[in-house]
Amino acid sequence: MRISTLFYTIRQGFRNIFKNKLFSLASIATITACLFMLGIVYCIVLNAQNMVKAAEEGVSVTVFFEEGTDETRIQQIGEQLQLRTEVSKVVFVSADEAWESFKTEYLGEYADGFTENPLANSEHYEIYLRDVSMQSALVTYLESIQEVRRVNQSEIVANTLTGFNSLVGYISIGIIAILFCVSIFLISNTVTIGISVRKAEIEIMKYIGATDFFVRAPFVVECILIGFIGAAIPLAIIYFMYDQVVAFIMERFSILSNLLQFLPVTTIMEDLAPVCLGLGVGIGFLGSIVTVRKHLRV
Amino acid sequence: MAEEKAVKKKRRKRGATSDKYIINMEGVEHEYDSGSRGLDGVDLKIKYGEFVFIVGDSGSGKSTLIKLLLRELEATEGSVNVLGYDLNRIRHRKIPQFRRKIGIVFQDFRLLKDMNVYENVAFAQRIIQVPTKQMRKNVPAILASVGLADKYKTNPSDLSGGEQQRVALARALVNEPTLLLCDEPTGNLDPKNTREIMQILDEVNQTGTTVIVVTHNSEIVNAMQKRVITLKKGVIISDEEKGAYIDED
């Protein structure tokens, strides 16, 4: 194929967008609306998961040791725990530190009556998990260690967080899948209608002896561009609106500021941008290929 | 003298000096999905360089015949051979190549509405990948030959019916086709434009292009004294050299 022919088909694709303004606007609006909805749900889901994860990170398992366990063995157990995949952080709290913390938190000036450390045998590890659903597996492992006297865990919190996390996961997958299907249906329908009204044009090209590529290429270029613009608009809106919406929520619900931990917009965009652009361009490409094919059998 | 030589050269190039058949249909039948028969056992041979009228009432099979010749439809029985292509066996990707050797003119012109006159004609050249420089010579030349040299920038919707048909004719002729198929080319035209279009077709035929005209217009058929094939209910009922329009009514 001649280079000039290639440029001609690309140029025609660009020109078609302006020539068929109504189709272009309808398609761009549909893609924008669908992907905007998808983007908003994605933001909500990602932030909800982030908040649950933050809550999970605060959940710890405390492990106490048998009386007389030497420091070397305790240190060795700590090192082994640190190597486990489900463990994110292991903090050693000595008996003195435990007593100091207890005094500060509960006794205050009444602690002066104690001459010895009543928590002499309470050195322990606080173990923080990467994934709270792995807590029971870790507890089973800890209880199998001979020197371990007692393991404290907050089973209800862990189960609630795990359940909530799964729920958020399932609901978000469901909503995103539905929105995804609706988007594909709406966008491809718009593209189909837009191309179908130009059936006569395609027929004329075929009668004159145009190859399928020559007929199809400008439509593909046109639909890819429409898909790209339709995806870029909601991304830009979300990008510029996100921080303002977050600031608004934080101001209105400042009482929940510890719980409401929003992700930065750049993190959101890392996944959302390629997904939206891929969807827009992909649907434009496939929609045009499939629809034009229907009219090529002339 | 030089002009005569050029015409002879063109006739030779388009096979008009040979005795070969450009169209060879044998026992052709076509049945539509609805069950109605478009053609019923048609045998038709047309030589290179001929001028042929195909006439008949509505539903006689004229349009089916044109569609078969363009390979828009496939014969359900029999063989269709056009320009050396066996249209029963031609591959889908070869069809554009085949159609580029054919010029086609429709009753309703079928011009691309969002292109001006020049672009409509140039489009046919673009499809066969003629270099832009060459295109800039060919398109004005063919527009001049149909009397539209000064209207190249005009949009087809701003032209009269006769002018639109000339643009369609220019588009059909710009690639110098060996075969020109005209489906009711004067159906939407007044007598003056009809005569002018037929005159252009006759001139085109003089240069060796085989011309097939499907028409209802008895006046032009009778006036031009060319070969006339009459179809009725999908069957050829007459085929006469220098024939006349047979009015069934």
Band (pLDDT 50/70/90 cuts) for residue B164 is: very high
Strands of the A60-65 sheet, one edge to the other? A87-93, A124-129, A60-65, A148-152
pLDDT at A115: 66
Pair A41, A116 in one domain? no
B38 residue type, one letter: G
Contact check, Cβ <8 Å, A204/B110: yes
Interface of A with B in 5-44 (CB under 8 A): 5, 8, 19
> What integer pLDDT is reported at residue B248 of this predicted model?
58
- Domain final residue, candidates A111, A132, A153: A153
Q: Burial letters for A158-193: b for 16+ Cβ neighbours within 10 Å, e otherwise?
A: beebbeebeebeeebeebeeebeeebbebbbebbbe
* B96 reaches A (C-beta below 8 A): yes
**CA of B169, closest CA in chain A: separation in Å?**
12
Q: Which residues of B touch A5 (CB under 8 A)?
A: 126, 129
Question: Same domain for A175 and A243?
Answer: yes
Instruction: Tell whether A205 is within 8 A of chain B (Cβ).
Output: yes
Shared domain for A229 and A140, answered yes or no, is no
Torsion angle of the four alpha carbons B57, B193, B51, B122, in this order, in degrees rounded to the nearest 10: -110
Q: Is the pLDDT of residue B47 over 70?
A: yes
Nearest by CB to residue A5, choosing from B111, B112, B129, is B129
Same domain, A22 and A170: yes
CATH code at B2-101+177-240: 3.40.50.300
What is the structure's pLDDT at A19? Answer: 80
Same domain for A174 and A46?
yes
Inter-chain CB pairs, A–B, below 8 Å: 51
CATH 3.40.50.300 domain position(s) in chain B:
2-101+177-240
CA distances from A194 to A21, A26, A287 (A): 10, 9, 11
Does A230 share its domain with A180? Answer: yes
Nearest to B20 by CA among B45, B54, B56, B53: B45
Q: How far does the CA of residue B246 sit from the closest CA of chain A (Å)?
A: 31
- B115: which chain A residues are within 8 Å (Cβ-Cβ)? none
- The neighbouring-strand residues paired with A152 are A62
Give phi and psi for A127, each to the nearest 5: -110, 120
Q: Tell which of A98, A120, A153 closes a domain.
A: A153
Domain boundary residue, one of A132, A153, A174: A153
What pTM was estimated for this model as a whole? 0.69
Residue A178 and residue A264 share a domain: yes
- Residues of chain A with pLDDT below 70 are 1, 108-120, 187-188, 191, 194, 298
Chain B residues whose CB is inside 8 A of the A207 CB are 70, 72, 99, 104, 110
* Same domain as A67, residue A11: no
Angle A278-A280-A282 (CA atoms, 0-180°, nearest 5)?
Answer: 60
Of B70, B128, B132, the CB nearest to A207: B70
Cβ–Cβ under 8 Å, residues B7 and B206: yes
For residue A60, the model assigns a pLDDT of 82
Chain A touched by B134 (CB under 8 Å): no
DSSP state of A105: I
Three state DSSP letters for chain B:
CHHHHHHHHHHHHCCCCCCCEEEEEEEEEEECCCCCEEEEEEEEEEECCCEEEEEECCCCCHHHHHHHHCCCCCCCEEEEEECCEECCCCCHHHHHHHHCCEEEEECCCCCCCCCCHHHHHHHHHHHCCCCHHHHHHHHHHHHHHCCCHHHCCCCHHHCCHHHHHHHHHHHHHCCCCCEEEEECCCCCCCHHHHHHHHHHHHHHHHCCCEEEEEECCHHHHHHHCCEEEEEECCEEEEEECCCCCCCCC
What is the residue whose two structure tokens read 């409401």?
Answer: A260
Which amino acid would we find at residue B171?
Answer: R
- Is residue B55 within 8 Å of residue B221, measured between CB atoms? yes
State residue A194's pLDDT score: 67
Would an 8 Å CB–CB cutoff place A200 in contact with chain B? Answer: yes
Q: Are residues A91 and A129 located together in one domain of the fold?
A: yes
Q: Which of A2, A198, A208 to mutate to test the interface with B (most CBs of B within 10 A)?
A: A208
Q: Are residues A199 and A285 in the same domain?
A: yes
Please, are residues B87 and B68 in contact by the beta-carbon 8 Å criterion?
Answer: yes
- State how many domains chain A has: 2
Indicate whether B249 pLDDT > 60: no
Single-letter amino acid, residue B48: Y
Q: Are residues A223 and A187 in the same domain?
A: yes
Structure token digits, residue A85: 């995949």
Does some domain include residue A158? no
The dihedrals phi and psi of B85, each to the nearest 5 degrees, come to -95, 130
pLDDT, residue A146, reads 85
- A262 DSSP assignment: P
pLDDT value of residue A283: 81
Q: Give phi and psi for A91, each to the nearest 5.
A: -115, 125
Nearest CA in chain B to A1: B129
Q: What does the block give as tokens for A110?
A: 């009444």
Q: Which residues of B touch A7 (CB under 8 A)?
A: none
Chain B CB contacts of A2 below 8 Å: 129, 131
Q: Which chain A residues are within 8 Å of B110, Cβ to Cβ?
A: 200, 203-204, 207
Q: Are residues A69 and A146 in the same domain?
A: yes
Cα A41 to the chain's mean position, in Å?
10
B105 touches chain A (CB under 8 A): no
**Is A101 part of any domain?**
yes
Give the pLDDT of residue A56.
Answer: 76
Chain segment B194-223, per-residue pLDDT in tens: 999 999 999 999 999 999 999 988 889 999
Distance of residue A209 Cα from the nearest chain B Cα, in angstroms: 4
pLDDT recorded at residue A119: 67
> Does residue B235 have a pLDDT over 90?
yes
> Across the interface, which of A2, A206, A208 has its CB nearest the CB of B129?
A2
Q: What is the pLDDT of residue B120?
A: 93
Sheet holding B227-232, edge to edge: B102-106, B179-183, B210-215, B51-56, B227-232, B235-240
- Tell me, what DSSP letter sits at residue A116? S
Chain A, nearest residue to B125 by Cα: A208
Whichever domain contains A141, its CATH number is 3.30.70.3040
Alpha carbon distance B95, B144 (integer Å): 30
A161 in any annotated domain? no
Q: What is the distance between the alpha carbons of residues A238 and A245, in angstroms, rounded to a whole number?
A: 10
Instruction: Report CB contact under 8 Å: A209, B129.
Output: no
Contact yes or no for A200 and B104 at CB 8 A? no
Tokens matching residue A46: 């990602």
The rounded distance, in Å, linking the Cα atoms of B234 and B218 is: 20
Which domain does A71 fall in, by range? 60-153
Dihedral sign for Cα atoms in the order B53, B59, B60, B65: positive
